[in-house]
Structure 1
Amino acid sequence: MLPPSYTLQHLVIYFLKLGTWGFGGPVALVGYMHRDLVENKKWIADDDYKEGLALAQLAPGPLAAQLAIYTGYIHYRILGATLAGIAFVIPSFLMVLGIGYAYVHLGGLPWMQAIFYGVGAAVIGIITISSYKLAVKSIGKDYLLWGIFIVLAVTTFITEEENIWLILAAGVVVWFVKVPPAFSRSSLPAIAPVLAQAAPVVSGNAKLLQVAWFFTKAGAFVFGSGLAIVPFLYGGVVKEYQWLNEQQFVDAVAVAMITPGPVVITVGFIGYLAAGFPGACVAALATFLPCYLFTILPAPYFKKYGKHPAIKAIVDGITAAAIGAIAGAVLVLGKRTLTDIPSIIIMVTTAIVLFKFKKIQEPLVIAVAAGVGVLLRIILLSI
C-alpha cells in the first residue's frame, strides 16, 4: 500500500467538519464520504471505500459511523479508527445535549415540527441525489449488479427493512457468477468477523444500568442504517421501560433528522430525557462501542484478503445490494415525509438545485428549507 497523502490530523479535522455540517442521515453521509475522500481529495482508494461500505453493511450498528471508523483504519489502523469515529460523533452529540437541555427546561419543542417540515423534505432531496451518485459510481454498467440493486431496492421498500440475508446472498451470487469457486483447490481464505459485545459497566444507578444494557443491545443487534434503529428504540424506551412518551419519542426522531452527523445520535437525546447528562453519555457510549468493535476486529481480514478476486466479487455484490437497500430506504422515507404538495416541491427543488449546482453546500440548503418550513407553518396557522 502506498503511503497516505494526508495526515491523521487532516482526517480528524475532516470528520469533525462532517459531523458538524453533514446533514441528511446515513445515505447522504456515506455519499459525502465518497465524494470528498475518494473523488475530490483522493485520500481513499475506491476499492478501500467499497470494502468499508460492505463491512459496515454486514455488521450491526450505524452505517455511517462504521464507515467513518473503517476509513480511519485504512491508513492509521486502531488510532485512526478511534479518532475518526470520535471526531465524527462528538459534534452532533454535543448538539443533542444542548437540545435535550432546552427541551427539558423549556417544556418541549413545538417550533421543531415547523423546522422539520421543511428540513425533512429537503433531506429526502439530498439523499436522493447522494444515492444516485453512489449507485452510478459504484455499479457502473454492470447489469448483474444493477439487477441486485433493483431487487434490494424493491424488497427494502416493500418490507420497510433491510434484509441482511439478501445482502449476503448478493455477494455469493456475484462470486459464483464472476469467479466460480474451484472446490478441488485450496479453500478460499475465510473471512470470519469476530462478533464481540461489550456492555459498559455502570455502578451505583439502576436506571443507568438499564440504559447501558438496552443501548448496548441496540448497537450490537440492529443491522442496517441508523434509521433501522428507530423501531427497536421505540419498543424499548416507550413500550418496555416507558422512559419517554409517544410525543417525546417523535421529537427525539425529529432531533435526529434536523441535526447533522449520524442519525443514531438521537440516543444521546433519549438518554438525556431518561437519566440526564449521565444517561446521555452512557446511551451514546453503549450504542457506539459495539459498532466500533464490529468494525476494527474484522478490518484486518478485509485488508488482508480484500484484493482476492473471489473476495472482491463478494464485496462488489454486497456493495450493490447495500446501495440498493439504501435506495429503498430513501423511498420509504419519502413516503412518510412527503405528505403534501409543498413538501414534494421542496424535495424536488432541493434535488434539482444540488444536481445542477454542484458547488452549493448542503447546510445552506438545509437552512433555507428550515426557513421555508417555518414560513409555511405561520401561513397555515394564520389561515
Structure 2
Amino acid sequence: MQNTPSTDDPPRGPAVPFGEAVRTWARIGVLSFGGPAGQIAVMHRVLVDEKRWISEPRFLHALNFCMLLPGPEAQQLATYVGWTMFGVRGGLAAGMLFILPGFVTMMGLSAAYAALHGTPWVAALFFGLKPAVIAIVVQAVLRIGGRALGDRRRMTIAAAVFIGIALLGIPFPLIVIAAAVAGWLWLPAAVIDDDPLPPLTRMERRAMAMRSLRVAAVCAVLWWAPVALLAAVFGPGSVFVAEGVFFGRAAAVTFGGAYAVLAYVAQQAVGHYGWLAPGQMLDGLGMAETTPGPLILVVQFVAFLGAYNHPGALPPLAAGAIGASVAVWVTFAPSFLFIFAGAPFVEGLRRNAALASALSGITAAVVGVILNLALWFALHVLFGRMMDVAPLGLRIAFPDVRSLQIAPLVIAIAAAVAIFRFRAGIPAVLTGAALCGLAIRLLG
C-alpha cells in the first residue's frame, strides 16, 4: 500500500536545500510590487523560468485553486508552492516571507504618516516605481498568456473575461464560475502528469480528510487567539478587538482580490467606526499600491491609524502598532488555513480529467484578469485624470489624453526596453526606476 499523503507529506518536489528556498522566497517578497498581477509575474519568473522548481502546468493549477479562494491569491500561491516543496514548514516560510517585507514597510510608513504627516521622499521613490511595474505586469501577460492560451477557445475565454470585467463590471466570483463551466463543457481534458500520483484508497482518502480537518481546526484557533487575548487584556470594547473582529470577518469574504473589498473597508472604517478620514484612506491605498506585498496590506494602514487615533491608555504609536499587527494577522491567517487544508485534495485532483478541463478554463480567465489589471494600473499611472463615458449604456473609465504624464511614460518605456531588449533583472529595473523618480521629484 502507498504511504498515506498528508499536509506534512506534499507531492514530490525538487531537491532544493531549505535554506536556498527561504532566501528565494525572501527575494520574491522584496520584489512583489504591482499588486496581484505584478506579484504573480515575479513568482512565475523566479519559480518557473529561473529556478524551475515547479512546472508551468502545476504553477497554473495552483494559481487556479488560489483564484477560487477568498483572500490574497498571490500570497496563497506562494504558500501553496512552498507546501508542495517542504510541507507545512515550506508553506509557512513562503507565505510569511511574502508578507513580511510589505508588513515592515507599511508599519514604518504608517508610523511616519501618523507622526510626520507624510513622507515626500518616499513618494518620490514610488513615483518612479509605479511606471516600472507596468512593464513587469505586461511581461506577465505575455509570458502566462503565451503558454496558457494555446488555442482559439482559450483565447475566446480570456477575451470574454477581459470584456466582462473591464466593460460590463461582472462580479469576480461569477467570472470564475463561468470560466470553469466553459472550460468543463468546451475545452479538451488535459491531466497534469509531470509528477504522477498513485491512486488513493478509501482509507487513505479518509485519513487525508481527517488530517485536513485537524489542520483547519488548529489554524482556526490560531486565527482568533490574538483577538481573544486582546479582549482579555484591554477589554472587549477596545479598538483592538473591534479591528480584529472587523478585519477577520472581511478576510473571509474578499473574493476577487483586494479591490473587491476595499470599498467595504473604506465605508466601514471611515463612515461607521471613524478610524480615519476619507483622504487618509486614499493615502493608505497609494502606499499599499507602491510597496511590496499584497495590496490588501492597506488594512494595516487603516488599523494603525484607527488605533493611533483611539489609543486609550497606551502611547499612540504603540497602540497603532498593535492595531496594525492584529489586522494583518486576522487577514492572512485564513489563507494558511485554506491552503493547508485544501492543497492535498487539489493536488490529488490533478488526475481528474473533467476538473482539469474546468481549471483550464480558469487558467484562460486568469490571463484576462491580469490583462485587465495591467490596463487599469497603466491608465491610472500614466494619466492624471479619467473620464466616464457611456457608449451603448456601458460606463467606461477613459483617460483624458491631455493629462498624459510624460515622466512616468518615459520611465515605463525605459523599463520595458530594459526587460524585453536587455533582459535586465527585476531588482535592477526597480532600483533604477526608483532612483529616476527621486531625481525627477528633486529636480522639479
TM-score by length of 2: 0.76
Distance 1:305 1:236 in 2: 39
Moved more, 125-134 or 160-169: 160-169
Q: Which residue does the alignment assign to 2:175?
A: 166
Select the residue among 134, 139, 146 that pairs with 2:155. Answer: 146
SS of the residue 1:251 aligns to? helix
Deviations 1:303-345 (A, max 9, x none): 1112321111111111111221121122122222211231233
Q: Which residue does the alignment assign to 1:316?
A: 360
Shift of 1:378: 4.6
Distance 1:235 1:148 in 2: 34
Select the residue among 341, 347, 351 that pairs with 1:297. Answer: 341
* Residue 260 of structure 1 pairs with residue 292 of structure 2: yes
Q: Which residue does the alignment assign to 2:74?
A: 64
What is the aligned-residue identity percentage? 29
Q: Tell me which amino acid in the other structure corresponds to 2:420.
A: F
Q: Tell me which amino acid in the other structure corresponds to 1:322.
A: V
- Alpha-carbon RMSD across the aligned residues, in angstroms, is 2.6
Deviations 1:256-294 (A, max 9, x none): 122222222232232222221111110100110122222
- Distance verdict in 2 for CA 1:3–1:352, change over 3 Å: closer
Moved more, 54-63 or 156-165: 156-165
* Residue 337 of structure 1 pairs with residue 350 of structure 2: no
SS of the residue 1:221 aligns to? coil
Contact 1:162 1:325 survives alignment (8 Å):
no
Q: Which residue does the alignment assign to 2:63?
A: 53
Q: Tell me which amino acid in the other structure corresponds to 2:336.
A: Y
Shift of 1:110: 3.6
- Aligned pairs (5 A) from 1:1-383: 2-139=12-149, 141-159=150-168, 163-178=172-187, 198-199=223-224, 200-201=227-228, 202-203=230-231, 204-205=234-235, 206-275=238-307, 276-339=320-383, 340-342=404-406, 343-358=408-423, 360-380=424-444
Q: Tell me which amino acid in the other structure corresponds to 1:287.
A: T
Instruction: Name the count of aligned residue pairs.
Output: 368
Q: Which residue does the alignment assign to 1:183?
A: none
Shift of 1:109: 2.6
Distance 1:161 1:115 in 2: 35
Distance 1:376 1:367 in 2: 14
TM-score by length of 1: 0.87
Contact 2:153 2:187 survives alignment (8 Å):
no
Contact 1:116 1:254 survives alignment (8 Å):
no
Shift of 1:159: 4.7
- Distance verdict in 2 for CA 1:296–1:2, change over 3 Å: closer
Shift of 1:27: 0.7
Contact 1:19 1:262 survives alignment (8 Å):
no
Distance 2:75 2:170 in 1: 19
Shift of 1:165: 1.5
Shift of 1:3: 4.7
Q: Which residue does the alignment assign to 2:317?
A: none
Distance 2:41 2:31 in 1: 14
Q: Tell me which amino acid in the other structure corresponds to 2:20.
A: H
Distance 1:113 1:84 in 2: 29
Distance 1:290 1:258 in 2: 24
Shift of 1:149: 0.8
Question: Any stretches of 5+ residues in structure 2 without a counterpart?
Answer: 1-10, 190-204, 308-319, 384-403
Contact 1:267 1:283 survives alignment (8 Å):
yes
Contact 1:160 1:332 survives alignment (8 Å):
no
SS of the residue 1:269 aligns to? helix
SS of the residue 1:306 aligns to? helix
Distance 1:293 1:331 in 2: 32
Contact 2:72 2:294 survives alignment (8 Å):
yes
- Distance verdict in 2 for CA 1:299–1:362, change over 3 Å: same
Contact 2:181 2:361 survives alignment (8 Å):
yes
Distance 1:79 1:144 in 2: 39
SS of the residue 1:60 aligns to? coil
Shift of 1:179: 5.1
Q: Which residue does the alignment assign to 2:198?
A: none
Contact 1:16 1:88 survives alignment (8 Å):
yes
Question: Any stretches of 5+ residues in structure 1 without a counterpart?
Answer: 181-188
Contact 1:48 1:74 survives alignment (8 Å):
no
- Distance verdict in 2 for CA 1:270–1:50, change over 3 Å: same
Contact 1:125 1:351 survives alignment (8 Å):
yes
Q: Tell me which amino acid in the other structure corresponds to 2:163.
A: V
Q: Tell me which amino acid in the other structure corresponds to 1:258.
A: T
- Distance verdict in 2 for CA 1:107–1:51, change over 3 Å: same
Contact 2:13 2:53 survives alignment (8 Å):
no
Distance 1:219 1:262 in 2: 13
